[in-house]
Amino acid sequence: MGATGAVGREIIEVLHDRNFPMESLRLFASERSAGKTIETPSGAITIENADSADYSELDIAFFAISGGWSKANAKKATDAGCYVVDNSSAFRYDDEVPLVVPEINTDAIGDSKLIANPNCTTAIAAIPLYNLHREYGLKKVIISTYQATSGAGAAGMSELTEETMNYLDGKEVKNKVFAHPIAFNTIPHIDSFQDNDYTREEMKVVWETRKIFSEPDMAISCTCVRIPTMRVHGESIVIETEKAISPEDAKKLLGETEGIDLKDDIENNVYPMPLTATKKYDVEVGRIRQNLVFGDHGLEFFVCGDQILKGAALNAVQIAEKL
């Protein structure tokens, strides 16, 4: 559902790439797109109208339209016996709905027919953080993000491209998708502001990490910043741990963690970057060092993850694989 959007299109690719055992793949989108035929790695498929889907014919539905649409349609699907993997934030904070990063908490699925996919920024940080938490106990987590324009969908990337061309041509730079021009700029504002003056994007990281880790009181904060990149969110992360931690041990642990590509060879200028993490399933982790503020109970590192993949499409397909 939402097969023509940035995440929908990526789900189609990932299903094919990972050889997901499909009897048939059906694509749904808004009425506007219904009837059009699109080429996919699984063959040419005609888009159907998502509003009139008969869920009794479907085993698993990926929802990637909008929160409102998910809210209006999820029950219809699950009542018909169809699993729903929802990419929106509609159900993420619902105690009845599991919020799942497959490397971490598949157990949480239980017999729920509806499973929520976390926010991209959460999913990318969760992989390294969870393993550090299990071994060393996280006391404090402080995150600052470097988020790509595709976090706002395909329109975000187009806006960056267009604005950049206009800027370089000396023409006026107009914005529509973002609150301000993003070309050669940074915007410390993603999603709406909350009562505590954090943005919703920042609070998503807080709420979702606590839920996925089953640590409702975890001390965690986040500043989310949009920067002029196309794909891949970067995150600068500082942690304080219960047990003493050394960068060497952390590198060993994270290097052996499923879903992580350790990129930590500073002598050869190897560290996580959008350039290398783009279209990669694994999250890149590097610049691992002993944090100067928390000393031998602190670690500082940088991660880069393709937020359309691990932050959305890949995580959704991984959930379906577990189902």
Tell me, residue by residue from 103 to 142, as one string, x for binding to a copy of itself by CB under 8 A and - for no binding: -------------------------------------xxx
Verify whether residue 120 is a known catalytic residue. Answer: yes
Considering the candidates 133, 222, 224, 233, report the single residue annotated as catalytic. Answer: 233
State the minimum distance, in angstroms, from the CB of residue 208 to a copy of itself. Answer: 14
Closest separation in Å from C-beta 284 to a copy of itself: 10
Question: Which amino acid belongs to residue 96?
Answer: E
Rg of the Cα atoms in the chain: 20
- SS3 assignment, position 118: coil
Smallest gap from Cβ 233 to a copy of itself, in A, equals 10
Instruction: Based on the shown chain and the rule CB under 8 A, indicate whether residue 52 belongs to the binding site for a copy of itself.
Output: no
Amino acid present at 198 = Y
What DSSP assignment string belongs to 180-238?
A: S--TT--BS--S-B-TTS-BHHHHHHHHHHHHHTT-TT-EEEEE--B-S-SS-EEEEEE
Any catalytic annotation for residue 233? yes
Cα–Cα nearest to 234, from 117, 144, 133: 144
Position 40 contacts a copy of itself (CB under 8 A): no
CA angle 205, 5, 77 (to 5 degrees): 80
**Is residue 209 close enough to count as binding a copy of itself by CB under 8 A?**
no
Q: Please name which of 221, 211, 213, 215 lies closest in space to residue 92, comparing C-alpha atoms.
A: 211
Would you count residue 6 as binding a copy of itself (CB under 8 A)? no
Binding interface with a copy of itself (CB under 8 A): 140-142, 144, 146, 160-161, 164-165, 168, 179-181, 184-189, 193, 196-198, 206, 219-221, 223, 225, 227-230, 234, 236, 238, 247, 266-267, 269, 271-275, 286-293, 300, 302, 304
